[in-house]
Amino acid sequence: MIQDFVVITGFSGAGKSQAMATFEDAGYFCVDNLPPEMIGSLAELFGHEGSKVERAAVASDVRGGAYFDGLVKVLDDLDGRGVQYRLLYLEASDPVLINRFKETRRRHPLADGGSVEAALRDERELLAPLRERADVCIDTTDLSASRLRKVVADKMLPHGKIGRLAVTFMTFGYKHGSPRDADLTFDVRFLPNPHYESELRDLTGLDEPVIDYVESSDGITEFYERLTPLLDYLLPAYEREGKAHLTVGIGCTGGRHRSVVIAEHLARIYGARGDLLIDVVHRDVDKPPRRP
């Protein structure tokens, strides 16, 4: 008999395939692009005492055509029958979704010869009632495919035995916006900015001259002496609470110099310990520097 039934929906291009892969890897029975009218029948089948399916995930989206009223009705029917389910909703910013469609050269299901921008406006309106009733909403704007799978696992999968905590140090520039999914955020704009050194401006925190500049800055030693003990306390605490993935944001003005040096420094420290899975993402490092 079914113990966990997950319905996945959201924007086209927001990462539903990666979410489905996460559930499939966890042993869930998965069905992609399922018409909404079949969800109720499938849930009823899984609910039979003889069913061998204990965990299942189904994805339903606008590939099925004009269906959202039908999906809301199906979910209402499941509620009325006392069928337990969880609704996972995936979204992303319009510019990111547009770029994803350009990169893959896929047509948006609602475009019908028109622009992707117009299709996204229509999709947002159709999705509104589903977003309101979602159990978990994930914004995938700043998430790579691998990081999305980690976030889905963290928020949606039963943890049972706690494995090694996966920690992502994400650098970013405040002028480009803060990351939506950061669990902890540290602002390092108090350190001297290499951007104002003409010979360093076009370099990044991955280059030795910038590393030397930041690591010799006034206050950097005291910062590390306070930050590292704080992380030493927080990371095991999150792990004990069953968290599988933690994103630590390190922000500076442009996301190219100070934050990159510090994130790489922290990744070396915690990666060498061997008890954590460490990843580093430099979100804005390739964006051109602003000229003074």
CATH number, position 13: 3.40.50.300
User: Is there a domain that residue 290 lies in?
Assistant: no
SS (H, E, C) 140-160: CCCCCHHHHHHHHHHHHCCCC
CB 270 within 8 A of CB 276: yes
* 246-289 residue pLDDT tens: 899 999 999 999 999 999 999 999 999 888 889 899 999 999 88
User: Is there a domain that residue 287 lies in?
Assistant: no
CB 258 within 8 A of CB 203: no
Helix ranges, 142-246 (H): 145-156, 208-215, 220-240
- The rounded distance, in Å, linking the Cα atoms of 92 and 85 is 23
User: Is there a domain that residue 185 lies in?
Assistant: yes
User: Is there a domain that residue 206 lies in?
Assistant: yes
Q: What is the average per-residue pLDDT within 178-206?
A: 94
Let me know whether 237 and 93 are in one domain. no
Residue 80 structure tokens: 């009325």
Let me know whether 129 and 217 are in one domain. no
- Across the chain, mean pLDDT equals 86
Q: What integer pLDDT is reported at residue 142 of this predicted model?
A: 86
Let me know whether 13 and 149 are in one domain. yes
Strand order in the sheet with 29-31: 29-31, 55-59, 4-10, 86-91, 136-139
Let me know whether 229 and 147 are in one domain. no
Residue 94 structure tokens: 């319009």
Let me know whether 61 and 136 are in one domain. yes
Cα 176 to Cα 168, 180, 254, 292, distances in angstroms: 19, 12, 7, 17
Residue 3 structure tokens: 């113990």
User: Is there a domain that residue 258 lies in?
Assistant: yes
Of 135, 156, 177, which residue sits at a domain end?
A: 156
Let me know whether 258 and 275 are in one domain. yes
* 69-85 residue pLDDT tens: 678 888 998 899 888 89
User: Is there a domain that residue 289 lies in?
Assistant: no
Q: Tell me the percentage of the chain whose pLDDT exceeds 90.
A: 42
User: Is there a domain that residue 292 lies in?
Assistant: no
Let me know whether 19 and 109 are in one domain. yes
- The rounded distance, in Å, linking the Cα atoms of 217 and 261 is 12
Q: Which of 81-95, 100-114, 129-143 has the lowest mean pLDDT?
A: 100-114
Instruction: Indicate the number of domains in the chain.
Output: 2
User: Which domain covers residue 45, as residue numbers?
Assistant: 4-156
Of 134, 156, 178, which residue sits at a domain end?
A: 156
Q: What integer pLDDT is reported at residue 161 of this predicted model?
A: 38
Let me know whether 74 and 194 are in one domain. no
